[in-house]
Amino acid sequence: MNTFSKEAVGPSYNVASMQHAQAKTWQAIEQLSQRIVPGMRESEATALGKQVLDALDTQRIWHPLLVRFGANTLKTFKQRSEDDPRLGEDDIYFLDMGAVWQGHEGDAGATFTTGNDPQKVACAAAAKTLFHRVEAMWRGEQVTGQALYDYAQAQAQDMGWVLNLDIKGHRVSDFPHAIYRGGNLGDFEQAPGSGLWILEIQIAHPTLAYGAFFEDLLV
């Protein structure tokens, strides 16, 4: 498969609509995070998330809403949550939303904490910091997707965290991007174009049973 096909888009694609979908996704994440409280079950937060997305007039969901509490923050997208945990008073959780606005795919994710556990707070912050370091490399240098994730792994290690390399980012575009089969960003052998790729960062605490997640559109 050539580079062009891996970055192919449909006839309605435009960057402005991608950025609109991106902004609406972050709006949904912010609204849902404000409604999640200790004592709530993962399933309850997921139901709330669907209400938030409906209220923001999504056209459709293109990937299932993902809510992970506590130890489930170590799970990858394709893994099922363990049980239906309640969120604790000093806990960590992340949200991952993928919905369609203006015919384009929004996808974003972030980690939040309850209480003041310093290690959990640091973990949530580290995922976002690592994302922005890798994003800055993408903006400043013409490097491959593979090089971005090599850099992410080295940076995570230096920061004291473990990068999950089973999560390597993916394509987005006008819906449905899946017909273009762009593969993982971390396997892409060229410099990724703007408005086409989601950079995903998932880290784990080196010894404790939790992690953090952050993703956004490279644009």
CATH number of the domain at 74, please. 3.90.230.10
- How many whole angstroms separate alpha carbon 212 and alpha carbon 130? 11
Q: Is the pLDDT of residue 212 over 90?
A: yes
d(Cα 45, Cα 67) in Å, to the nearest integer? Answer: 7
Please state, in angstroms and rounded to a whole number, the distance separating the CA atoms of residues 151 and 140.
13
Please report, for the chain, how many H helices and E strands are present, in that order.
Answer: 5, 7
pLDDT score of 4:
63
Question: In this structure, are residues 45 and 31 in contact, taking their beta carbons and an 8 Å threshold?
Answer: no
Q: Is the pLDDT of residue 139 over 50?
A: yes
Choice between 15 and 5, residue whose per-residue pLDDT is larger: 15
What mean pLDDT value characterizes the chain?
A: 95
Note the pLDDT tens digit of each residue in 49-82.
999 999 999 999 999 999 999 999 999 988 999 9
Which pLDDT does position 178 carry in this prediction?
A: 76
DSSP type of residue 150: H
Domain that holds residue 46: 3-218
| Overall domain count for the chain | 1
Percentage with pLDDT > 70 across the chain: 98
169 falls in which pLDDT band (50, 70, 90)?
A: very high
3-class state of residue 115 by DSSP: coil
**Predicted pLDDT at 2:** 43
